Structures are given as C-alpha cells and as structure tokens.
C-alpha cells in the first residue's frame, strides 16, 4: 500500500469544553473545504471524510484506505436540503427520512449531475444519510458541504468504533482525526436503494428489514454474495473482502450445546470463542465451559471466551472484538451464529464477510 506520510493532527473531543470543540470543528471544516481528509465519529462507526463534490478530495479517501475507486461512497449531510446531491427525492424517501433521519439509514437515489463520478463509483445514483451524532453534524455544518465518508479503516479491515483504532489505521494517511466516545451502534448504516421500481435493501444495519417493510411495504433484500464478477457494486461493502481481522474467522451454526461441544474438541490456546446469547439471556447451557467469560476491555491477559448478552451488544462490540483478537495474537476466531432476523441479519452480514462465508453447520 502506498506510503503517504501526511502530518496527521489528532483531537480528543471528549476532553474539551464546547468552545474548544467548536474551534476544532471550524479547523476540520476548513480542512474539508481545502480538499483534505478528516476522520470523525458517527453513531454507526467512525467515518473518513472529504468534500463529496471535489473529485481530487475524494481520491484522497481512496488513497488513505487503499481502496478500489469503483466502490461508491456515502454522502453525509446535516439537513434534508439535498439540492445539488440528488435529482429528486422519491415519496418513499420522504417517509423514511421522517422516521429515521437523523439516524443509521442511507438512502440511494438518482444523483444530481453535479456529483462527481469519483464519489459514486461511476454510478448514476448516490447514497445519502444524516448521521445521528452531534460531532458529525457539527463538522458537516462547519465544512458547508456534503461529506463523502466510508468507514475510517484500511480497506478490508474491521471498521473502527473507537478513536484509538482510527489512529492505528490512518495516522500518516489523513489530515485530521477527531475522537470521541465509542460508536453506540457499532455496525455501518442500513442502505436502501430507492432508485428503482421496488425498494431494495443492499446492506442491513441497525434499521432492520422488518422496520423498513413496516414503513414502505415491499422491500427486497439483495444479499451482497449475489454480486458477480465485474458487476459494479451499488453500495459500500458489496464487492470486496470486508471486516476481516488477520485471524481466521469461522462461524458455527447450531444449538448452544452443540456449539460448545464442538469447541471443546477443537479449540486451543491460539483460538478465541465468541458466544452470543441471542435472546438476551443464556438459558441454562447444558455444557460447562472452562474458559474465562469476559469482555474485550477486561484486564485478563489470556481469556478464552467472549460472551455477549444480546445481539445488540454483539453488534456494538463485534468489530472491536475482532481487532482485539488480533492484538492478543489469536490465529483463529470461532463465532456462534445467530438467527438472520432483525438485527441478527445485519450482524451475520458482517460476520459472513469477515469469515469469507466459512460457516460450519454443527450437529448435536
């Protein structure tokens, strides 16, 4: 990957008063207007932003990530005035904006001719969202333009949900990194395509397929695994290897008892097990487990098992857990699969890509 050697400035917004934050937003907005790159927090994951209307600035995003330039970017906005970004706003988009903006929902619409091809991956459509994070909105307002922003990581790696992970990946590759709290959602935004005759869910996220159908009626889910050969991706994350740590990820689908029995004969000290109590409660597991139950921030230096108490918790923490496993030197990660409904569909979408679709059906 190309060495950039950019002198990166970092600001921890959590340690600042409001006046100091505003000065940082003004500085960051000036960087965006000048064609630079700024990492910023959102409620989903951290984003790597540049002026969406500046082709050269957008190329800076691709260089920083080491990412192919045919992958479309999402334009982040601070209000619902989309003039100059989309050619028209369909009625279905208005209903979704009324319900979910600001929030973790990206809507694909027909683009305005003024949006550069570099931002849309050469497509005639563009994805737009209004983040539900005060720092992100303040940055967009200070910049005075829509900000094109994928996740703030090296392409293919797990998306960053903390300031520290952004620094690990992008120091020396961007102009500015703004840090705040850990992202509260933990998965990238839901992406729905409203540019055709039938709404299509291209990437599930915190806004679930069931919730979209409750607002719009018919919505078709288009799994990214159906993308073939040289077909152009219509949304981020549809074509290239994504979300993967260095450790090999394998998904285990079966009952809790079957999964634990399977692991007892195969797990070793070089592998990590991730268990997910999909119902929010571990219902009397029938197989004992000798490993340590912990969270990624626990002090234990040699734990065996990560156990999440719900799918929501797993979604929020999964990317950090995958990165943490690499920190610890694990060579393999076994992850318990969950039902692909509600938020489980979104979580499994990310995990399948991290595992390169390696799913083991475990029988009792």
Q: Would 205 be classed as within a structural domain?
A: yes
Do 102 and 18 share a structural domain? yes
Do 294 and 178 share a structural domain? no
Q: How far apart are CA 230 and CA 210, in angstroms?
A: 31
Which tens digits make up the pLDDT trace of 274-289? 999 876 544 433 333 3
Do 259 and 125 share a structural domain? no
Q: How far apart are CA 238 and CA 71, in angstroms?
A: 8
pLDDT band at 231 (very low <50, low <70, confident <90, very high): low
Which tens digits make up the pLDDT trace of 117-128? 999 999 999 999
Closest CA to 318 of 44, 16, 7: 44
What's the farthest any 2 CA atoms get from each other in the chain?
Answer: 61
Do 196 and 256 share a structural domain? no
Residue pair 111/125 in contact by the 8 Å Cβ criterion: yes
Q: Would 4 be classed as within a structural domain?
A: no
Do 137 and 53 share a structural domain? yes
Count of domains forming the chain: 2
CATH number for 183: 3.90.870.10
Do 333 and 194 share a structural domain? no
- Out of 195, 226, 257, a domain closes at 226
Do 266 and 146 share a structural domain? no
Closest CA to 28 of 153, 174, 159: 174
With a cut of 80, say whether residue 93 has pLDDT above it: yes
H-state helical runs in the chain: 18-33, 55-65, 91-100, 117-120, 134-143, 163-170, 209-216, 256-266, 311-327, 343-354
- The predicted pLDDT at position 285 comes to 38
Do 316 and 182 share a structural domain? no
Domain range for 274? 248-361
Residue pair 111/126 in contact by the 8 Å Cβ criterion: yes
The answer to whether the bond into 6 is cis (omega within 30° of 0) is no
Which tens digits make up the pLDDT trace of 94-143? 999 999 999 999 999 999 999 999 999 999 999 999 999 999 999 999 99
Alpha-carbon Rg for the chain, nearest whole angstrom, is 20
Q: Would 150 be classed as within a structural domain?
A: yes
Contacts of 83 by beta carbon, 8 Å cutoff, 6+ apart: 112
Do 195 and 74 share a structural domain? yes
> What percent of the residues of the chain are helix, what percent strand, and what percent coil, each to the nearest 5?
30, 20, 50
Q: Would 235 be classed as within a structural domain?
A: no
Which tens digits make up the pLDDT trace of 169-178? 999 999 999 9
Model confidence pTM above 0.85: yes
Tell me which residue has tokens 């219509």. 234
Q: Would 55 be classed as within a structural domain?
A: yes
* Strands of 293-294's sheet in order across: 293-294, 305-308, 271-276, 332-336, 248-253, 359-361
HSE-up (13 A, CA, CB side) for residue 282: 16
Q: Would 94 be classed as within a structural domain?
A: yes
HSE-up (13 A, CA, CB side) for residue 144: 7
- In sequence order, what are the beta bridge partners of 200? 193, 220
Residue 96 has what DSSP assignment?
H
């Amino acid at each position: 990957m190309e060495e950039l050697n950019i002198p990166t400035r970092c600001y921890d917004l959590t340690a600042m008063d409001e006046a100091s934050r505003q000065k940082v937003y003004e500085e960051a907005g000036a960087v965006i207007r000048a064609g630079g790159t700024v990492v910023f927090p959102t409620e989903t994951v951290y984003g790597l932003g540049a002026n969406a209307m500046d082709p050269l600035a957008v190329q800076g995003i691709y260089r920083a990530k080491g990412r192919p330039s045919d992958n479309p970017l999402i334009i982040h906005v601070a209000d619902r005035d989309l003039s100059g970004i989309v050619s028209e706003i369909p009625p279905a988009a208005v209903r979704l904006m009324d319900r979910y903006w600001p929030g973790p929902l990206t809507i694909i619409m027909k683009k305005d001719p003024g949006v550069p091809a570099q931002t849309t991956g050469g497509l005639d459509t563009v994805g737009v969202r209004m983040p539900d994070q005060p720092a992100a909105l303040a940055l967009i307002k200070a910049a005075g333009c829509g900000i094109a922003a994928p996740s703030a990581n090296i392409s293919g790696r797990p998306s960053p949900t903390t300031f520290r992970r952004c620094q690990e990946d992008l120091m020396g590759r961007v102009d500015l990194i703004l840090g705040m709290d850990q992202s509260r959602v933990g998965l990238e935004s839901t992406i729905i395509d409203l540019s055709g005759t039938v709404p299509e869910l291209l990437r599930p996220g915190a806004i679930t397929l069931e919730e979209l159908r409750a607002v719009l009626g018919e919505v078709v889910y288009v799994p990214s695994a159906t993308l073939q050969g040289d077909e152009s991706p219509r949304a981020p994350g549809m074509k290239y290897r994504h979300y993967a740590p260095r450790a090999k990820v394998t998904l285990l689908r079966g009952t809790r008892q079957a999964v634990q029995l399977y692991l007892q004969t195969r797990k070793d000290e070089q592998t990590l097990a991730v268990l997910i109590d999909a119902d929010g409660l571990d219902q009397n597991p029938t197989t004992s487990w000798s490993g340590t139950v912990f969270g990624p921030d626990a002090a234990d230096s040699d734990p065996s098992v990560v156990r999440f108490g719900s799918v929501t918790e797993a979604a929020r923490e999964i990317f950090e857990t995958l990165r943490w496993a690499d920190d610890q030197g694990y060579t393999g990660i076994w992850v318990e699969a969950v039902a692909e409904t509600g938020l489980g569909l979104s979580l499994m979408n990310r995990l399948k890509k991290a595992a390169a679709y390696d799913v083991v059906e475990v029988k009792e």
